[in-house]
Amino acid sequence: MTTYSMLCAGMVLNWAGFGLVVLASIGVTSCKDAGQHSAADAAVGVDAVTVADSAAAKADAAADLGEAPPNDSVATDPFGDPACDPLQPLTCAMPFPSSHFQVEDKTTATGWRLQFAKGALPKNNVGVQVDTTAYQRLDGFSVAASLVVQFPNVDTVAMAGQKSIDKSVDKASPIVWLEVDKTGAVKRRVAHFAELDVRPNAADKIDPTTQVLFVRPAVILDYATRNIVAFRQLKDTKGGKIARSPAFAALIEGKTAGTQLAKRQARFDEIFAILAKEGIAKDELTLAWDFSTYSQQALHGPLLQMRDKALAAIGDQGAALTFTTFAAKTDGSADPDIAHTLRGTFKAPNFMKDLPGVGADTATCPRWNFNAAGVLEQNGWRDAQVWIRVPKTAMDGTAHDLLHYGHGLNGSGDETYQGWVGPNASTNKFIYFANSMIGMSNEDSTVIFQILQDLSRFSCLPERVTAGVVEHLVLQRTMKLHGPAIISAALSKHLGKPIEIKSTGKMFWQGNSQGGIYGQTVLAAAQDVTRGHFGQPGLNYHLLLERSVDFDEFSMVLSAFYAKRSEYVLLLSLIQNLWDYVDPITFVRHLEAEPFADTPKHHALSVVHPGDFQVDAVTVEVAMRSGYYKVLPFYGKPVPMVAESAYPVVGSGVVSYDFGNSWFIQGNMPPGPEGGFECGDAKLPHAKGPCLGKGLCDPKGTFKPCTLNDPHDRAHGLKSHNDQMRHFFDTGEIKDFCGGDGCKPE
């Protein structure tokens, strides 16, 4: 049975325990109706207070939305359709990202705005082209952008890899990535690593003539900055010189008059001059281009607006909570450590509007709610779920800390029923409370499935997650103001006798997996919590997804609708620009190094595991290399361009808990029967067998069959882990609780 037939027949996808029901009837549509794409879409976020500066700016934006440059020259221009970038003719929108898709806009903080001409982006398998309107809000590209290019049969041996990132900033590097200021002066060489796409791209095989090359930034890029990238003297795997594309050759030679490239010639002449000052001559170049990153105002304006308006809306009263259940467990049975679990809802300010689907598609598409002036405003109130778990140790009036829990992938606050929560709550005196991260919770299965069919819908996900982040901040403020009183009153009424629950007045964050990922976003924006614990965190979803076993089944659906591999990976890079509204890759710098205005500094203890099958720690290492996390002793491997910090550390840092798996480098393939990873310097296939094809590398670099489970989520019940977290919450200090030789529970 083909993939598409399997989908149409109906199936259940299980993503990290989350059951996503794939409906038998598949409707492929796009959220383009009901006024979804407005002038405000193009201008939102340019300013942290107002979305558009003037009626004229909004009118200009409206005129630009969806407009394509005229294609009259397609038949006569030697470089083809001007909607595409002719620098890399194999795939329309490559190289990506590129200034080819930027237009000047004096109303934005950077002076640019993203714009993709009609036809530039791929269509799904039923001919629906990815809508580009939402991208026109942004005034530049992602600060996490991977370069996506295609050079047939390219030899990558001389390029920097994950273990040799320091080579990427050498003068001899075949890939040069520069950040430059407005005068063209070089600010820095961007550390990076290159990796070929290791997933099949033709008839279930890798075709090296169309294989995609990724160049991953090994640091977080600066806001509002021009980036120039150059590939020089590239060779193919047989040692032959890779030829320039005709378009790039014309730009090198200055022979672009009368073609679509003529308007780009001056920009490229400037690129060549900047590269020449770095000692890189034009005749060395196989390809070069530039792009600019977005401003911080454009990116974080919506979330900060929503936060400030939501907290003002609940005021000193906080959000209204209503409880309907008081059982210790979901099945009503007793819990040895938990006295009561309060289940119910709280009234959260709503900044979303649900736009209906079209045709046979009945799924709504949640989007930010803008008024006619393009200003984000509240749209009533929403009943958001809440869980509060009160340990027996709090029932005698002993003061406890409040601990806000962040759930895992597409889950909910009921993860606080996990067996390790009760003992930790009792031993370390925590009252746990939780809510769901809407947008990527178990409430969002239908919308997520619709997004996989048509990536025009992708805005629905980050916009709703932004609302989810704000709901977390609303619940934090409410619990800070009135948490003990709310719990006491609810339990007194339920039990028919006076109950007094006391708090120390301290509140912290603990999130695991997705809760460790988005926990970084929540904490960076938090007004009422300043210390957090992140279990198995990651950053930069477009880098994380294909490295995780959690994405496999979702990838199967997405690839059924976007079958051409080069277009598929291009789209993963494209949607990162919208995901950045909430992705911690854009928030981690605002935890401690650069707090948002009127927001306190925050400190975080992050815990990772070597050989994690679900979250590749390479993404956290990007934050380390950027200076936003310290790496603590016994991490388990060298982190290129990062020195370990000795215990104890005050501030934000990363600790490794080693459950026996070695670190591996799997590229953009998760551990599993189709993948492989490096043991020492050898690339070896996974073993087949009873552990679903997974394999391990032992410390000597020898491959052996899989004998251990995925270490993901395994540290929560460890005394050393919980004592370390408790000490960090109390003091802000990351201290060794593992005996001085690394945290190796097994």
Task: Place 2 in a pLDDT band, splitting at 50, 70 and 90.
Answer: very low
- Average pLDDT, integer, range 168-181: 97
Judge whether residue 554 has pLDDT over 70. yes
509 versus 700: the higher-pLDDT residue is 509
200 versus 433: the higher-pLDDT residue is 433
- Average pLDDT, integer, range 330-341: 85
In this predicted structure, what is the pLDDT of residue 201? Answer: 85
Burial class (CB in 10 A: 0-12, 13-18, 19+), 468: buried
CA-CA distance, 670 to 738, in Å (whole number)?
29
CA-CA distance, 365 to 353, in Å (whole number)?
8
pLDDT mean across residues, the chain = 86
| Count helices and strands in the chain by DSSP H and E runs | 15, 29
The three-class DSSP label of residue 481 is: helix
Tokens of 405: 């829990």
Task: Place 459 in a pLDDT band, splitting at 50, 70 and 90.
Answer: very high
Poorest-confidence range of 351-355, 514-518, 599-603, 696-700? 696-700
- Average pLDDT, integer, range 353-372: 76
Task: Place 403 in a pLDDT band, splitting at 50, 70 and 90.
Answer: very high
Task: Place 335 in a pLDDT band, splitting at 50, 70 and 90.
Answer: confident
- Average pLDDT, integer, range 474-479: 98
DSSP letter for 446, please: H
In this predicted structure, what is the pLDDT of residue 688? Answer: 32
**CA torsion through residues 367, 368, 371, 372, sign:** negative
Task: Place 737 in a pLDDT band, splitting at 50, 70 and 90.
Answer: very high
- β-strands 603-608, 653-656 pairing: parallel
The amino acid at residue 478 is T
CA-CA distance, 397 to 99, in Å (whole number)?
62
Three-state secondary structure string covering 87-138: CCCCCCCCCECCHHHEEECCCCCCCEEECCCCCCCCECCCCCECCCHHHHHC
In this predicted structure, what is the pLDDT of residue 22? Answer: 40
> Domains of the chain: which residue ranges?
3-297
Share of the chain above pLDDT 90, in %: 76
Give all strands (DSSP E) within 7-68, no chain letters: 11-15, 18-22
Query: To which H or E segment does residue 349 belong?
Result: strand 338-349
Give all strands (DSSP E) within 435-530, no chain letters: 503-512
In this predicted structure, what is the pLDDT of residue 364? Answer: 75
In this predicted structure, what is the pLDDT of residue 39? Answer: 37
Task: Place 482 in a pLDDT band, splitting at 50, 70 and 90.
Answer: very high
- Check: CB of residue 744 under 8 Å from CB of residue 658: yes
Give the tens place of pLDDT for each residue, 580-636. 999 999 999 999 999 999 999 999 999 999 989 899 999 999 999 999 999 999 999
Judge whether residue 692 has pLDDT over 50. no
CA-CA distance, 354 to 367, in Å (whole number)?
6
CA-CA distance, 377 to 349, in Å (whole number)?
10
In this predicted structure, what is the pLDDT of residue 543? Answer: 96
700 versus 64: the higher-pLDDT residue is 700
Residue 434: strand pairing partners: 387, 405
How long is the chain?
746
Nearest to 641 by CA among 170, 57, 132, 129: 170
Give the tens place of pLDDT for each residue, 259-315. 999 999 999 999 999 999 999 999 999 999 999 999 999 999 999 999 999 999 999
In this predicted structure, what is the pLDDT of residue 203? Answer: 80
Residue 392's region, left for phi above 0, alpha for psi from -120 to 50, else beta, is alpha
Share of the chain above pLDDT 70, in %: 83
All residues at 6 or more sequence positions from 478 whose CB lies less than 8 Å from its CB, including other chains: 314, 318, 319, 321, 346, 486
CA-CA distance, 370 to 41, in Å (whole number)?
9
DSSP letter for 221, please: P
Please measure the distance between the N-terminal and C-terminal CA atoms of the chain and give it in whole angstroms.
43
Tokens of 16: 């990290």
Judge whether residue 256 has pLDDT over 70. yes
- β-strands 703-705, 695-697 pairing: antiparallel
Task: Place 333 in a pLDDT band, splitting at 50, 70 and 90.
Answer: confident
Q: What is the DSSP string of 133-176?
A: GGGGG-SSB-TTPPEEEE-TTB--TTS--TT-GGGGGSTT-SEE
CA-CA distance, 124 to 564, in Å (whole number)?
9
CA-CA distance, 715 to 685, in Å (whole number)?
28
Give the tens place of pLDDT for each residue, 21-61. 343 333 433 333 333 333 334 333 333 333 333 333 333 33
The three-class DSSP label of residue 570 is: helix
CA-CA distance, 662 to 359, in Å (whole number)?
50
Judge whether residue 533 has pLDDT over 50. yes
In this predicted structure, what is the pLDDT of residue 363? Answer: 65
Longest alpha-carbon distance in the chain: 87
